[in-house]
Amino acid sequence: MNTRFTGNFTQQEAIPEAGIEAALAVLRHGRLHRYNTAAGEISEVALLEQEFAAFTGARFALAVASGGYALGCALRAVGVKPGDRVLTNAFTLAPVPGAIAAVGAVPVFVGVTEGLVIDLEDLAARADQADVLMLSHMRGHLCDMDRLMAICDGAGITVIEDCAHTMGAGWNGIPSGRHGTVGCYSTQTYKHMNSGEGGLLVTDDEEIAARAVMLSGSYMLYERHLAAPGPEAFESIKYDTPNVSGRMDNLRAAILRPQLAALPDQVARWNVRYGAVEQGLRGTPGLSVIERPEPERYVGSSIQFLLLDWAPEAVQAVLRRCAARGVELKWFGGAEPTGFTSRYDSWRYAPSEALPASDRILRGILDMRLPLTFSVEDCRLIASIIRDEVGAVYQAQ
């Protein structure tokens, strides 16, 4: 009888005890709003921003209500207006084009490579079509950031990095989110730090940082931030920047601060698990693993592989067979979006042209979460199940 995996692909680890104690302290004093502080008190949110700025090496950081809010806030802060065109990945998730559409702008989709990163040749060809790129490091895959920035700098394109899947990752020693003008991060439950919902934004640009703080709903309380520009940066913008309230609260910040301190250790744990699955999948007939470039420091909180040029029915057979043995895979090739697998042609609020080369790759992408509640032995078992079922379907084709 075939072995079956019995773990839960959506079960995260518990919040660290230090986070629970800090959250209880906030609940006991009742000052959840980031600007509701006692005399001489520094809010948990302000401390988190200071610590996250130090973690990323950024001058400024802002904690907000969600990763999607961070994206929209960044677009407004760099000056994107209704009707503007914004370049972005064809392979991403709905909050990215959603943020662009929400400010009234128009996404211009750029193709994906077999490495699951933005196609830099396609980006160069479209560089004259927009002044902003919202770059999605989709599922934790970093492209050649040196080349990307050379293309964008040469064309005068402002880069906003969507780092929802790359908090703790980097390229050539530079943290993810620090190549572009703004880096945006998520602390939604399935990301690298868990506050249920939440987000962070970093930048070195004083005016952008000041606009983001005002946009987030600071009223005129910006001096209570530890990782924002000085008061002088707000003088020319404070009456002209709308309040689009999206603050983080002290309860979530209290939960996140111990997680940030532990993040390097968590990254190492994820990558051991990722390595166990990757090694178990290598050499499977008909299956391609995604090779990680040497300059990339990745966080293996999920894993993707390709069943390139497989018939849809065969891919669906793999999905069914793996599910029957307890392994949950997501497929980006379905005719209709399911759960987290929507793609550029799913978003009818964002018109798109056909991208045949990218469509071929999207039809072959299978995706799987790797929560830290899985042991390394669990990951070896999962890999063996996928290997068995892909092999069985491949032989039957």
Which uninterrupted H or E stretch holds 186? strand 182-186
Q: What is the per-residue pLDDT for 107?
A: 97
Q: What is the per-residue pLDDT for 378?
A: 98
The strands making up 106-110's β-sheet, listed across from edge to edge, are 60-64, 199-203, 182-186, 158-162, 132-136, 85-89, 106-110
Per-residue pLDDT tens over the stretch 198-238: 999 999 999 999 999 999 999 999 999 999 999 999 999 99
**Domains of the chain: residue spans and CATH:** 17-257 (3.40.640.10), 262-396 (3.90.1150.10)
pTM: 0.97
Per-residue pLDDT tens over the stretch 132-170: 999 999 999 999 999 999 999 999 999 999 999 999 999
Per-residue pLDDT tens over the stretch 50-88: 999 999 999 999 999 999 999 999 999 999 999 999 999
Q: What is the per-residue pLDDT for 304?
A: 98
DSSP assignment string, 28-79: HH---STT---TT---HHHHHHHHHHHHHT-SEEEEES-HHHHHHHHHHHTT
Provide CB contacts within 8 A for 302, sequence distance 6+. 139, 140, 165, 367, 368, 369, 370
Structure tokens at 2: 């075939």
Q: What is the per-residue pLDDT for 351?
A: 86
Structure tokens at 79: 């000056």
Q: What is the per-residue pLDDT for 222?
A: 97
Q: What is the per-residue pLDDT for 341?
A: 76
Tens-level pLDDT at each residue, the chain (397 residues): 589 999 999 999 999 999 999 999 999 999 999 999 999 999 999 999 999 999 999 999 999 999 999 999 999 999 999 999 999 999 999 999 999 999 999 999 999 999 999 999 999 999 999 999 999 999 999 999 999 999 999 999 999 999 999 999 999 999 999 999 999 999 999 999 999 999 999 999 999 999 999 999 999 999 999 999 999 999 999 999 999 999 999 999 999 999 999 999 999 999 999 999 999 999 999 999 999 999 999 999 999 999 999 999 999 999 999 999 999 999 998 877 777 777 888 888 988 899 999 999 999 999 999 999 999 999 999 999 999 999 999 999 8
Instruction: Put residue 156 in one of left, alpha, beta given phi > 0 → left and psi -120 to 50 → alpha.
Output: left
Q: What is the per-residue pLDDT for 345?
A: 87
β-partners of residue 200 are: 63, 185
Cβ atoms of 393 and 314 closer than 8 Å: yes
**What letter would DSSP give residue 292?**
P
